[in-house]
Structure 1
Amino acid sequence: MSYPYELDNATLWDAGYQSGRLYFTLAQGAAEHIELPTGLACNDRIGGCDVELPTFRAFVEGLYDSYSRTNSAVLQGLWRGLLVTSLVLLDMAGSSITLSAEHEEALRNEMASVGRSMGAPNWRQYRNP
């Protein structure tokens, strides 16, 4: 059983049911915390989520801003998994955000690993040369 994430009737990420539902739930919780909508909407027709790209991109920017602003290792750790998955999903939708030099190498390396697991077609591009 899967939990697909779709944009304009094209599947971006055909997540496993558990992974897809957990990502959606974590994104909803983070959205409440940063006071931004996720851009993810449950779709009963496909049993997954539709992605509304401009709203989702703004959500990912908000996640990254929250991640970047904190000096707390605990908060950064809590943000990081959701952020990396969101960055890969955003890339799979054909969009991206600018990462600071301070975070770019580490996040891109994690994106390569997560992207491979998510079936991202271009996961190798995340690694810095």
Structure 2
Amino acid sequence: MSYPFDLDGETVWDAGYHTGQMYAFLARSAAEVLELPTGLTPNDQGGCDIDLPVFRVFVEGLYATYSSTRNPVLHGLTRGLLIASLMLLDQAGTPITLKPVHEKAFREEMVTFARAMR
């Protein structure tokens, strides 16, 4: 059983059911803290439709929060959600610009995530 994330009728991530549920739940929770909508809407296929402009603003807000602190706990809590979100933006063809201090490490993690997200 899967949990697809669709953009304009095309699946950009066909997540495993529990992985997709966890991602969507974490995104909703983070969005509540950030006071931003996620751009993810549950669909009839048991996954989520992505409103790309809204989702991009959410990911930018998540990254801005991550970048604004050196708190290792906040970094740890945010990092997995952020990397998966960056991968979704990449797969949608609209990556965001990362700060040089994060670029190498995030890109390396994104390569690891990419193997499981394609």
TM-score range, shorter chain: over 0.9
1:107 matched to 2:92: no
Q: Secondary structure at the match of 2:96?
A: coil
1:65 matched to 2:74: no
Q: How does 1:68-83 map to 2 (within 5 A)?
A: 68-83=67-82
Q: How does 1:1-129 map to 2 (within 5 A)?
A: 1-43=1-43, 45-119=44-118
User: Could you say what the CA RMSD is over the residues aligned between the two structures, in angstroms?
Assistant: 0.5
C-alpha separation in 2, matches of 1:42 and 1:55? 15
Higher relative contact order (CA 8 A, sep 6+): 2
**Normalized against structure 2, the TM-score is what?**
0.98
**Normalized against structure 1, the TM-score is what?**
0.90
The match for 1:124 is none
C-alpha separation in 2, matches of 1:90 and 1:41? 16
Paired amino acid for 2:104: E
C-alpha separation in 2, matches of 1:29 and 1:40? 12
Gaps of 5+ in 2: none
Query: What is the Cα deviation at residue 94 of structure 1?
Result: 1.2
C-alpha separation in 2, matches of 1:48 and 1:117? 17
CA displacement 1:45-65 (0-9 Å, x = unmatched) = 211000000000000000100
Gaps of 5+ in 1: 120-129
* Percent identity between the two aligned chains: 58
